[in-house]
Structure 1
């Protein structure tokens, strides 16, 4: 049912016109075989209602008007929907139907957009729709411009056939994927053989084969695991009915994909053996990298829930339109809200809050996500969902394309030397030097000449892609690593001691690309920036937890972000500033590994720095400083900071003893030239009983300069503190454990 206006809207003509536009893109220098196909928007294709009030008056007689109004109203404040407000400002302007800009790479689909023109050329989108066809009832022409209806159950034969087809398309048609990732890889130490009636555990034996891997959440409710006592039963083969639903569904998916083997950690690692667990955890990179596909149980929070789901029909009205291709009985297509099926719950689900899952999905060359509402296939070429829509990853570090480029880029030794030298000279970490060689650098007589020769650029994204204009030296790898840590640290781990092991596979990838030394969650070449971390307080159930007691187990050296419990880790990234000056210099790094894995757990470690240093005449940083003590402003700032941080680093690390000393150590200073903003970062260490070592207990940021209309108290206090200590900081060699 359409109103007198909507009946004239020709959705086929709009989509065909959108597809016929020439692309406005460019060749990707990191992937020469890829052509971006960005089509511009067509915002004013069809003149719709004259204003929102007119649109609202038509919703009872027109399905299209009802869909548009429902989309707008669901995101608007109730006060904005009253009669008088609908006559004001942008609300009173003409409504148009057109398309947004869209990228045809990987069969991306144009979206129908309903818009109003705002002030100064701004455009307000009232609604965005996909144009869909029922499966089996597609029109005869331009089917590639239409999305599809989803299947009623994700475990249905047709849905699993679609999953197999998506995997097959990647393996057989994506040259860049198939050339880098062989379908057959070395089998893991142990693996589940799904052939026959009863799945059974077998040894990999160094053989090669095609296998899948499972990424899922145990949920703490499963005793169905591999132990010394159960190994014989698993090797003999157990009836599929005995397997927990999530694992049983994963085995059935593997069979439907035509794959014989699947790796499942609970069944392929001896769970009661610390030695076997450590050995197999260090092989995670090879397992997930070698699997032809990783099956992600995105809708299951525990093994008893299963993977397959009945799809709940959307309660949003569908608007049916004629596909006007000249047929006497034209096919019908329907509009679906653009946000209706993009399953945010899939990426915010319990499995995606788990620390281990991050590297499992990033390391996998292909992931098949089974969500609540639909399945989605992701590979380095992009992501396509069950409805036929292409989804591009916005966060560059979270895309398989980035991991693929990381694997392709192994930095030669001369380039590593160049990177090290440039960082020492404080050239920003994202730098492309298309023609500059190490010889050119060494022959330059002064720093300014070198800076003039280097073409400095900032990384940017287009539809989620990383587009470096020139030779990518790998200097931004460290910024990407810090971004990964920020995401990873906001996830949960069952055991705090898994913090570093659950990252070991990703660390191996970065080491392979950069050749740098991995040091307890940070990188030696970028250690000074890495030390600027701070970690948010634990906030369970929305309430701030009481101040934590001292940690009863060793996690990492005090200078590593992995040394304490908490929520998201934040770094002050060099790339945010135009000028960077490092005051601290790394003299030595020592790491004591807990296992044979150089990227896994540690049992000790130290760094030796040469940096501006000042001992504080105070044995209690929490108390207000006595007026007679030196540097009262600094001590007051530190005291206020520690008291305000309820679940602070200090609360988890401080170990008091008689005669203890505290100090500050200047790490780094950043500056934004145009905004005349300047920040300085200091570490606050405490002395360790029985030696000359120090322990990091907090970090301190001070604002050295800030462009503001008025001087805030924080800026004034920071300037006073910096003036207070300016001439008393003395360079000193300090060892921090």
Structure 2
């Protein structure tokens, strides 16, 4: 026997035999009279249905007419090449714009280990004449269908609009990613498709059956004097569907984050339903009239357009105000929340995959970009911490001091000190980044950092004041005891028991923590002081407003470095160190000039 409890569209279904509780939703069709009482809508069995296509058109028209923040332009310079989709009876072709203007859509899709149809130097002229629709993989055919149906002429697809066997063209076009996506009318995201053969529609339709109503019954509202059909389905995430999107094949890819962040409007064809995302709101097929999109936009990193250049008066120990007032804090929030853990095929693509976003953050902040960090905030940026024991990038061109060198298999680290004002303990003498092309935000060939700072050799620490080593390396759970979460060094039970000793966390988990110090000595490792931070002396869960905190402690953060060879004075990063200044642990260090690669 089942009974329901709850209100509005969401109910709890309770089994009297097992006491199992499952949330269900009361849903109606859009044209049902009871739609004014139940806001959840039935999910169509096929995403290519007329109802779904009409819904997309409704969202687009609403954004055009009612969203002043979502600026639309019909007169922009087209990308170098776009696909002219033509009429329904014509084959599309590759159009070289040569300064022509207009509107275009973009397609985000997974290659998935399968090479889609590509434009190369050998096929360029052929594609400029015609691209037979039958030669295209299903995802591309679906994108062309949608472009035509939504009333647009041009479509940009990476594999067809970039000459794939030309390094020069790839470098040139990759430097245009910001303009291509930020100026596009709409981005079509084939979220559920694992590869180009899956198709935009078919890849999602396989899961839609699980969103169908379990049963339908006739219902009447005496108060409203209306009646109609109400369906009951197991609850799918409604307004907060961003919980599911990161699990879609497309959104596991590093390249796609940039496409998502930069695009002013996006249609996601996911495995459960359709999504509309613009700069104003988020709509879903299950809740098509909902305007509650703030959580989605923040979780997906799609808030760059809200970030301005206004600087707020800082708290004495806190960095300036909210993230949305500070482009660089937004950048690290995006890395922490949205980019971390995404998959990338080639290590050397880690910077190009974010080049467009980095360009816009640089424009808004006025800061200078240095291999994923920002020169004017580099003391904080150098102090990223791994969330897990790392695999270092195989790309030797990626500097060890950049978060991009952390691989698991994607960048997997956190900048934990983004709220706190840094007191500089190192002087930056020079940062030299060499790129493989003219784009300063793109692929790099080397990165060198020169500092003058206080250093201490591991060989000079003796019993009983040897450093304390984080037992689990960068393991996430153990790091709750670590100052990563900005709990003061003194407030943490683990650290309090080790007063008078510095706390070290190596990037790559040690096989035997007991032998970690002897290993550091053998590797001739040193600690280099980078910055000091005033952090609140609070317990693990004791959060207060900054103005209510009276007891602040100074923690000096530094890098653990090892020389790249036996004779060199050139170093690479292998970990991070935390030093309690009040214990006098920062005294007696030697000032030295260092080169870190």
Q: What's the TM-score bracket when you normalise by the shorter of the two chains?
A: 0.7 to 0.9
Deviations 1:98-133 (A, max 9, x none): xxxxxxxxxxxxxxxxxxxxxxxxxxxx87665532
Deviation at 1:150, TM superposition (A): 2.6
* C-alpha separation in 2, matches of 1:514 and 1:688: 34
1:404 aligns with 2:294: no
Deviation at 1:607, TM superposition (A): 2.2
Deviation at 1:281, TM superposition (A): 0.8
- In structure 2, the CA distance between the partners of 1:518 and 1:64, relative to structure 1 (3 Å rule), is closer
Counterpart position of 1:569: 412
CA contact (8 A) 1:299 1:346 kept: no
TM-score, normalising length: structure 2: 0.79
CA contact (8 A) 1:614 1:663 kept: yes
- In structure 2, the CA distance between the partners of 1:369 and 1:531, relative to structure 1 (3 Å rule), is same
Q: Secondary structure at the match of 1:280?
A: helix
CA contact (8 A) 2:301 2:334 kept: no
- In structure 2, the CA distance between the partners of 1:604 and 1:634, relative to structure 1 (3 Å rule), is farther
Counterpart position of 2:27: 132
* C-alpha separation in 2, matches of 1:632 and 1:682: 21
CA contact (8 A) 2:92 2:130 kept: yes
| Unmatched runs of 5 consecutive residues or more in structure 2 | 476-504, 512-518, 540-550
Aligned partner of 2:256 among 357, 372, 382: 357
After superposition, where does 1:486-565 map in structure 2 within 5 Å? 486=336, 487-537=338-388, 553-565=395-407
- In structure 2, the CA distance between the partners of 1:669 and 1:72, relative to structure 1 (3 Å rule), is farther
Q: Secondary structure at the match of 1:394?
A: helix
Aligned partner of 2:236 among 333, 339, 352: 339
Counterpart position of 1:733: 593
Deviation at 1:313, TM superposition (A): 4.8
Counterpart position of 1:372: 271
Deviation at 1:637, TM superposition (A): 3.7
Between Structure 1 and Structure 2, which shows a larger proportion of helix residues? 1
Deviations 1:75-114 (A, max 9, x none): x9x7xx39xxxxxxxxxxxxxxxxxxxxxxxxxxxxxxxx
Deviations 1:201-238 (A, max 9, x none): 11121211110000110111124111122223322212
* C-alpha separation in 2, matches of 1:366 and 1:703: 48
Counterpart position of 1:591: 433
After superposition, where does 1:80-119 map in structure 2 within 5 Å? 81=19
- In structure 2, the CA distance between the partners of 1:252 and 1:58, relative to structure 1 (3 Å rule), is closer
Counterpart position of 2:560: 684
* C-alpha separation in 1, matches of 2:57 and 2:452: 57
- In structure 2, the CA distance between the partners of 1:482 and 1:631, relative to structure 1 (3 Å rule), is farther
Deviation at 1:71, TM superposition (A): 4.4
1:664 aligns with 2:527: yes
* C-alpha separation in 1, matches of 2:347 and 2:165: 18
- In structure 2, the CA distance between the partners of 1:488 and 1:400, relative to structure 1 (3 Å rule), is closer
CA contact (8 A) 2:403 2:411 kept: no
* C-alpha separation in 2, matches of 1:256 and 1:633: 74
Q: Secondary structure at the match of 1:175?
A: coil
* C-alpha separation in 2, matches of 1:674 and 1:727: 25
| Unmatched runs of 5 consecutive residues or more in structure 1 | 1-56, 83-125, 432-457, 460-465, 467-473, 540-547, 618-628, 706-721
* C-alpha separation in 2, matches of 1:253 and 1:605: 44
CA contact (8 A) 2:506 2:575 kept: no
Q: Secondary structure at the match of 2:245?
A: helix
CA contact (8 A) 2:106 2:186 kept: yes
1:216 aligns with 2:92: no
More displaced stretch, 168-177 vs 143-152: 143-152
- In structure 2, the CA distance between the partners of 1:249 and 1:646, relative to structure 1 (3 Å rule), is farther
Give the root-mean-square deviation of aligned CA atoms: 3.7
- In structure 2, the CA distance between the partners of 1:585 and 1:127, relative to structure 1 (3 Å rule), is farther
- In structure 2, the CA distance between the partners of 1:352 and 1:634, relative to structure 1 (3 Å rule), is farther
Counterpart position of 2:51: 158
Q: Secondary structure at the match of 1:330?
A: strand
* C-alpha separation in 2, matches of 1:704 and 1:335: 62
Counterpart position of 1:392: 293
* C-alpha separation in 2, matches of 1:68 and 1:514: 44
Aligned partner of 1:631 among 462, 466, 469: 462
CA contact (8 A) 1:186 1:206 kept: yes
CA contact (8 A) 2:11 2:26 kept: no
Counterpart position of 2:177: 284
CA contact (8 A) 2:104 2:185 kept: yes
* C-alpha separation in 1, matches of 2:92 and 2:509: 48
After superposition, where does 1:139-288 map in structure 2 within 5 Å? 139=34, 143=36, 146-178=39-71, 181-196=72-87, 197-288=90-181
Deviation at 1:533, TM superposition (A): 1.1
CA contact (8 A) 1:246 1:303 kept: yes
Aligned partner of 1:696 among 569, 573, 578: 573
Counterpart position of 1:604: 446
Q: Which has the higher contact order (CA 8 A, sep 6+)?
A: 2
Aligned partner of 1:482 among 326, 332, 350: 332
Deviation at 1:701, TM superposition (A): 3.7
* C-alpha separation in 2, matches of 1:354 and 1:231: 28
CA contact (8 A) 1:214 1:295 kept: yes
Counterpart position of 1:11: none
* C-alpha separation in 2, matches of 1:601 and 1:426: 38
- In structure 2, the CA distance between the partners of 1:581 and 1:165, relative to structure 1 (3 Å rule), is same
CA contact (8 A) 1:63 1:317 kept: no
- In structure 2, the CA distance between the partners of 1:255 and 1:248, relative to structure 1 (3 Å rule), is same
Q: Secondary structure at the match of 1:484?
A: helix
More displaced stretch, 565-574 vs 186-195: 565-574
Deviation at 1:552, TM superposition (A): 5.1
- In structure 2, the CA distance between the partners of 1:316 and 1:662, relative to structure 1 (3 Å rule), is same
Counterpart position of 1:304: 197
Deviations 1:490-515 (A, max 9, x none): 10011111000000000011011111
* C-alpha separation in 2, matches of 1:69 and 1:194: 46
Say how many residue pairs are matched: 533
More displaced stretch, 264-273 vs 630-639: 630-639
CA contact (8 A) 2:386 2:507 kept: no
Greater gyration radius: 1
Deviation at 1:69, TM superposition (A): 8.0
* C-alpha separation in 1, matches of 2:209 and 2:435: 50
Q: Secondary structure at the match of 1:603?
A: strand
TM-score, normalising length: structure 1: 0.65
